[in-house]
Amino acid sequence: MADKVSVVLPDGSKKEYSAGMAISQILRDFNQALAKGALATFLNGRMVDLSEKVQEDSEIKIINFDSEEGKEIFWHSTSHVMAQAVQDLFPGVKLAIGPPIKGGFYYDFDTQKSFEPEDLARIELRMKEIVKQNHPFKRRELAKSEAEEIFRQKGENYKLEILSELEEDRVVLYQHDDFVDLCRGPHVPATGVIKNFKLLSIAGAYWKGSEKNPMLQRIYGISFATKDELDQYLKRMEEMKRRDHRVVGKELELFSISDEVGPGLVLWHPKGAMIRRIIEDFWVEEHQKHGYQLIYTPHVARLHLWERSGHTGFYQEYMYSPMQVEDEHYQLKPMNCPFHILIYKSKLRSYRDLPLKLAELGACYRYERSGVLQGLFRVRGFTMDDAHIFCKREQLEEEVIKLLDFSLSMLKTLSFEKYQIFLSTRPDKSIGEEKNWEKAQDALRLALEKQELEFEVDEGGGAFYGPKIDLKIEDVMGRPHQCTTIQFDFNIPERFDLSFVDSDGNFHRPIMIHRALLGSLERFFGVLIEHYGGAFPLWLSPVQVRVMPITDEQNSYSAEIESRLKEEGFRVERDDRNEKINYKIRKAEKEKIPYMFIVGKKEVQDKNVSVRRHKKGDLGRFDLDEIIQKLKEEVKNKTVQPVAI
């Protein structure tokens, strides 16, 4: 072995060190300040601990908290510290797994005791001690049999199960203080690094995610490199709570879900219904522009229809039980497609009719297990902004491009410009000819590429009846929400024996695309509420202007303004209660009404209004015609105020 090794340092420079020197030492020599923030390193592209020794000519790159890898390492190490704290405080608790996740980490434990919120504080205290003691994380590679012996002695049967599934002969353990865990690593150098953490919640989780396995107790947590980041995170959590559509929906009287009606069934209150109506009008207008024909279909149909469509087979678990009417069974619809198909089938179709686009805001009912319901995000009765496109195979790609454009422009208007796109391909269990699948998948892929849209491929993630594109929008808080879906269906056209006469005079089977752009109006509304934090842009606001006289001397003038605004097509309210103007302003601000028109003596005299904008404050005095013009522009342009978080 050479005495000296040549090391390429993070800045690209080269330097010689004696072989066997630890990376941490080399980094300290390289740059004290940078070394301090290092959690681990890439050694020749391989993620390793800082304690790893350099034995050959190498390249070193620092991993710090700012990178994905850094966060994962940091969170993973925090989960080890938490697990130790839990075992210290509650002897006998068994360890399952404790990985880092998107936003933090968790650890699953098996114990008779059920953790309570107060326990989190105790665990945090113990964690603080462990952090203070600054135990180094020690890596140890050993034979699998040795590791098995260690965990057998500790009675860690979940670890033994994991070990038994590993193919390698040698495995890695990490130890800090007296806590040992099976772990590939790397880890932060010592527990002292993890100063800023917070345990967030306790939840049940099945071992390996399967309902057949025992239920474990999971503790979620988060940690950061600096206190600032942790504070910011906690602030963001607060903000998310404040924006929760269930909270805002109640405060602003947008919707409710009543016990007496049933879980997952939404009552749209006047203000929420107003917003929905505006979105629907917009939707209808856009669909007509894009060559769709609007239809209406019933909420129930003979069970037979659902048998023919195949839903009673593959979709039964999500369907409400059928109801009996005059010895016939009827089924509440979980989807709209069979109806649309029957409209397609109502007459002989020619290639000249294609692509035929039938659209409907169709109310569907699906049985969702009680535990999964969540505000407007997950309900049992919802309205799909559904459409079905019947076309020839050659039209596929063009139709998908049109769909993507349509969806993205609509979402842009509703102020969603960030999204993730997924292309899901053929699953193992599926129907249809291979060549159809390939053509359809190619069409989807080509369309995405032509539009220069980035996407991820979810291999085998398609429905059994066809491949699909899913689009998730990202809200201001950076959370993704399932939105647009574009799905091919090779199943239903077969089952209903769909056909059209092509230019060659022969019958052919059309391709069918199911698509929803907003997904469901309920969920989309929930997303919108949180995205805007309840402060809807002017064009969507259920109340756009509130006129507020300062004293009752201005009541008649304010009534004049109110009726003028109404004539101009605005949604107006007047607050002529016997209250101080500050009180009225406070009310209007809390209700997030975009514009407040304040009229006092001066305004009556000069025949104008004082205008106050929600969140911005006083804009000064305006001539009524002038401000009406301004607001009309704002509505017409569907202007969105910056949606700050």
Partner RNA sequence: GCCGAUGUAGCUCAACGGUAGAGCAACUGAUUUGUAAUCAGUAGGUUGGAGGUUCGAUUCCUCUCAUCGGCUCCA
Contact 141, 170 (CB under 8 A): yes
Q: Which of residues 31-90 bind RNA (CB under 7 A)?
A: none
In 600-645, which ranges are E strands?
Answer: 608-613, 617-623
Is 242 among the residues that bind RNA (CB under 7 A)?
no
Q: φ and ψ at 314, to 5 degrees?
A: -85, -10
Q: And the tokens for 561?
A: 């303004």
Residues of span 201-230 touching RNA by CB under 7 A: 201-206, 209-211, 215, 217-218, 220
CB of 508 to RNA, least distance (A): 27
Q: Bridge partners of 222?
A: 198
Residues 356-385 that bind RNA (CB under 7 A): 366, 368-375, 378-380, 382, 384
C-beta of 292 vs 377, nearer to RNA: 377
Count Cα atoms within 13 angstroms, Cβ side, for 95.
28
Q: Between residues 201 and 637, which has the closer beta carbon with respect to RNA?
A: 201
Residue 615 binds RNA (CB under 7 A): yes
Site string for RNA, 581-610 (x = CB under 7 A): xxx-xx--xx-----x-xxxxxx------x
Nearer to RNA, 102 or 435 (CB): 102
Q: Could you tell me the smallest distance in angstroms from the CB atom of residue 429 to RNA?
A: 12
The tokens of 122 are what? Answer: 């105790």
429-468 positions binding RNA, by CB under 7 A: 463
Backbone φ and ψ for 470, nearest 5 degrees, come out as -115, 145
Q: How far is the CB of 354 from RNA (least distance, A)?
A: 24
**444 CB contacts (<8 Å, ≥6 apart)?**
400, 423, 467, 468, 469, 486, 488
Question: Residue 58: what are its φ and ψ, rounded to 5°?
Answer: -145, 170
199 burial type by CB count under 10 A (0-12 exposed, 13-18 middle, 19+ buried): buried
CB of 258 to RNA, least distance (A): 9
Q: What minimum distance in Å lies between the beta carbon of 296 and RNA?
A: 19
3-state helix, strand, coil in the chain (%, to 5): 40, 30, 30
List Cα–Cα distances, 606 to 581, 601, 622, in angstroms.
Answer: 19, 9, 10
Which CB atom, from 76 or from 176, has the smaller least distance to RNA?
76
Tokens of 103: 């936003």
Instruction: Dig out the tokens for 348 from the structure.
Output: 């002989």
Minimum distance from CB of 271 to RNA (Å)?
Answer: 15
Binds RNA (CB under 7 A): choice among 231, 405, 552, 625: 552
The DSSP secondary-structure symbol of 496 reads T
Q: Is 558 in the site for RNA (CB under 7 A)?
A: no
Considering only residues 490 through 549, tell me which ones interact with RNA, judged by CB under 7 A. Answer: 516, 519-520, 522-523
Nearer to RNA, 201 or 639 (CB): 201
Candidates 550, 593, 628, 631; binder of RNA (CB under 7 A) is 550
Q: Are 163 and 151 in contact (CB under 8 A)?
A: yes
Residue nearer to RNA on the CB measure, 93 or 193:
93
Cβ at position 402, least distance to RNA in Å: 19
CB of residue 217 to RNA, shortest distance in Å: 6
In whole angstroms, how close is the CB of 503 to RNA at the nearest point? 34
**Distance, CA of 97 to CA of 112 (rounded, Å):** 17
